Amino acid sequence: MADPPPRASAHGQGRTVQIDVPALARVEGEGALRLRIRDGEIEELALRIYEPPRLFEKALEGRSYEEVPDMVARICGICPVAYQISAVNALENAFGVEVDPWVQTMRRVLYCGEWIESHCLHIHLLAAPDYFGYESAIAMSREHPEVVRRGLRLQGLGNDLIRLLGGRSVHPVSVRVGGFHRAPETADVVAMRRRLQDALSDSEALVRWTAAIAVPSDRQNFVSVALRHDQEYPIHQGYIGADDGLAVGPEDFERQFSEHQLVHSTALASQYRGAGYLVGPLARLNLNRERLPAPLQGLIGEVGPSFPSSNMFNSMFVRAIEVHFAIAEANRLLEHYAPPRAPAVGVTPCASIGYGCSEAPRGLLWHRYRTDAQGRILAARIVPPTSQNQARIEEDLRLSLLSFGLEHSDEDLRLHCEKVIRNYDPCISCATHFLRLTTERL
Amino acid sequence: MSSSLPKVAVHKFSSCDGCQLALLNLGETLLQLSQMVEFTHFAEAGPVNPDAPVDIAFVEGSVSTPEDKERIKRVRGNSRILVTIGACATAGGVQALRNYVDSKQWVGAIYAKPEYVRLLDHSTPIAEHVKVDLELWGCPVNARQVTGALRALLFGVRPVEENDKVCLECKRRQAVCVMVAKGLPCMGPVTRTGCGALCPSFGRDCYACYGPAENPNTDALRRRFVGLGLEPQQAAQRFRFINGAAPAFRDAGSAKAETENG
Amino acid sequence: MIVLRIIGIGSPSGDDQAGWLVARELQRMRLIERLPCRTSIIALDRPGVGLLQHLTGVDLLVLVDAMRSGAPPGTIHRIENLQCIEPDRSVSSHGMGVASALELGRALGALPPSVIVYAIECDSMMADSGPTGLVVAAASALAGTIARDLQQKFAVSACPGLAS
């Protein structure tokens, strides 16, 4: 396929704008944008996903439950921990396994590492260049070296935290049904705590820096969906909530969230009560702000916009808040670290169905497994956050362009669309493994 | 401002993106590298220019669609040196598990409109379609492999390849053998090291992220697994995983192997 | 005609690229064109005992590598008496690699009649990093030294572009 550079044509009074971005930059995975405006009306607007599907849900059939964490990690290189945790949550639900508090704590710490790594990668490498007029973080680093270096440092810290618990940062090896394969050494935990402590000044500076970035104000109507929890800011566990008061367990996910074929598109998109909905950091903060430590809520009040927010452009700030939170949270959780008697409990598989979810960096990630008596997978269903956001992204693009104004130059329109898409930090490699969608190449 | 730096491209095919992260997770080193080379095409980092001629192209991901087949030929034509990174590119990846089955059935089970999903029956490694100058195996590859290869190639040096089996790495690290001590079906004896014997150091069995080592005795290992108590089908399945479509593992993981009893 | 082979030995780790830097510099200087021998300049990544396969038919071998012996970084060593290099005392930065290879070569009678080893003292072999400025400068100087030494050896008059 010949990939033409982004181009637009315009002629005469009734301006026709056609913007084709055959390959989106600074998003994860392969996506494209197509926009056509005729006579001041949006005629066509679509985020096309052409990442080839890898059919994980079928590949899991016939595999042992013990292989599931290793396999689902391969759905995504940026958020493998999220897949592993959602999977073990679901399988432990299926087998009636109750893990002990040490495991829950360590899973939360591991996940903090992934939030830190993924959010920092997104803020600095994917999103920020747009707001400073650069094509890439590399270009940006020449004139803003301290900011980029700080982001890379924090990203590295997140990766090292994952490595501490999981052995390596991409496709960690330690997560298993029942717990972990190995507990970290106390000396290593102490060293990591020191680094987390030292990083807090960086992460607070990150929050203040993102708060000061001028972003469009674009309020829209949408339902926020995220995990909630009675005590903690939800990361690795919780019940499913929405800002209309919904509160259900993972076993009810399919009853509440269904896939429909949208009239204007051939994609099947997730819907809640007949409309698209939002998952991700903004949804999480909208629903769980009171679970953040008081000083952090204070910081939000001091420098940030007001919450709940219906402006997706606040997402970068929210990611920075979550980085700052995750560093402090991991530090807090590791304070009284002691190696456990055993890093995992025994597991007896059985024929069953299990449901599990967790909050991936990009939002709610839900798994369901049906198993046989030996614990082999008979059927799997996985719903990643980016696919849940697809309907919302397209709606956002439409509304956002209208509010931005179609009279802008083609280049400005294209950049605006890309900023909108990047607000969602889409992880396209994840999204396509499951999507019932028509993958049409442009 | 045409730069005289060597030009490097990073291309993604069908993959989880984890191998590109070997570069994106480099931190400070990424900035250093960007002063040694010009990243002409690296979509996730920013620059998009897939058809520009380059000195070195890193390719992640397997060939999964008809469009991929055309695109990889264009990449080969534009690149002086082509380096594949990761199990998807070198062996077809975990998605190559569909090569073993009637994949149209798989597509039909997941996709309501399967006729719109233009997927090839098989997920295949890059080397089945174009000449590859260097293969970096791993799932994921690690930063040292990628930066080491890049630095060596910039000097015109052929990078050294790790060929030791994981067992040797366990011995170097004085890790306890999990097959002997715990009876676990560890793939280490037939797997190339590169991870530093990570799983055995975590007390679990290796599952062959780095692909087959040289001269792997897969038959003997498969029989050993049966001896450890695995069903023949389970023993064969150990080979049919991340690098399952690699030729050395393909036979050991085949349906025929499943029926061989020890 | 004398067969001369110059081998820069290294690895991608930091100052361990010293041998490669020297090889590249010698290539840039077009040394091959200036000596009355059949000259080849190659660079190898951690060849270990595989070094031996590059020695067949060579009359004069010049090896360039990084070294750690405790001398100040940037110090240049020149070793003609291979007896000095003991395989079990790490002289080369590759530990057993080069020293073992030479020892094996000697035992097999596979070493060229003349071997000269040049080494640059390094102490920073960090993976994922380039060579330090100190070593880059030392490599450049060493390339000049090697070129001069070889010219003298073959009594070639100084050519423009080669520092004297």
Is B119 in contact with B103 (CB distance < 8 Å)?
yes
Say yes or no: B145 and B181 in one domain: no
Which residues in chain B are contacts of C44 at CB distance < 8 A? 157-158
Read off the tokens for A442: 């442009």
- Reported in sequence order, the residue ranges of A29-177 that DSSP labels E, i.e. its strands, are 31-38, 41-49, 175-176
Say yes or no: B11 and B70 in one domain: yes
Judged against a pLDDT cut of 90, whether residue C39 lies above it is answered with: yes
Say yes or no: B144 and B205 in one domain: no
Asked if residue B128 is part of any domain, the answer here is yes
Question: Interface of chain B against chain C, CB under 8 Å?
Answer: 26, 29, 32, 36, 143-144, 147-152, 155-160
Note whether A139 contacts B204, CB cutoff 8 Å: no
Say yes or no: B80 and B176 in one domain: no
CB-based burial label for B164 (10 Å; 0-12, 13-18, 19+) = middle
Asked if residue B102 is part of any domain, the answer here is yes
Which residues in chain B are contacts of C13 at CB distance < 8 A? 148
Say yes or no: B36 and B108 in one domain: yes
The pLDDT assigned to B231 comes to 92
**Domain range spanning residue B222?**
166-258
The mean pLDDT value for C26-35 works out to 89
Q: Give the rounded percent of residues in chain A with a pLDDT score beyond 70.
A: 89
Asked if residue B252 is part of any domain, the answer here is yes
**DSSP code string of A216-260:** ---B---EEEEEE-SSS--SS--EEEETTS-EE-GGGHHHHEEEE
CB-based burial label for A193 (10 Å; 0-12, 13-18, 19+) = middle
- For residue A354, what is the DSSP state? E
Enumerate the domain spans of chain C.
Answer: 3-153
Say yes or no: B25 and B127 in one domain: yes
Chains B and C touch (3+ CB pairs under 8 A): yes
Which residues in chain B are contacts of A63 at CB distance < 8 A? 237
**DSSP code string of A249-315:** -GGGHHHHEEEEE-TT-SSEEEEETTB-EE-SHHHHHHHHGGGS-HHHHHHHHHHS--SS--BGGGH
Say yes or no: B130 and B250 in one domain: no
For domain C3-153, which architecture applies? 3-Layer(aba) Sandwich (3.40)
Most confident of A425-429, B176-180, C79-83: B176-180
Least confident of A45-54, A222-231, A243-252, B74-83: A45-54
What are the backbone dihedrals phi and psi of residue A366, each rounded to the nearest 5 degrees, phi first? -120, 135
Say yes or no: B148 and B198 in one domain: no
Mean pLDDT, contiguous 10-residue spans, chain B (262 residues): 82 92 89 91 88 96 91 97 97 84 64 60 91 97 93 91 90 93 97 95 97 94 95 93 93 78 52
Domain boundary among B90, B125, B154: B154
Is A57 in contact with A387 (CB distance < 8 Å)?
no
Report which of residues C80 and A284 the model is more confident about.
Answer: A284
Number of structural domains found in chain B: 2
Judged against a pLDDT cut of 60, whether residue A3 lies above it is answered with: no
- Pick the residue from chain B with its C-alpha nearest to A137: B45
Say yes or no: B225 and B150 in one domain: no
| Global ipTM | 0.93
Rounded Cα gap, residues B112 and B50, in angstroms: 32
Say yes or no: B18 and B135 in one domain: yes
Q: Is B197 on the interface with A (CB under 8 A)?
A: no
The mean pLDDT value for A132-149 works out to 92
Domain boundary among B133, B154, B175: B154
The pLDDT assigned to A50 comes to 63
Q: Return the SS3 of B260.
A: coil
Say yes or no: B52 and B132 in one domain: yes
Say yes or no: B43 and B106 in one domain: yes
The pLDDT assigned to C82 comes to 75
The pLDDT assigned to A260 comes to 64
Judged against a pLDDT cut of 90, whether residue A49 lies above it is answered with: no
Note whether B155 contacts C17, CB cutoff 8 Å: yes
CA of C155 vs chain B CAs: smallest distance (Å): 30
Rounded Cα gap, residues A270 and A364, in angstroms: 12
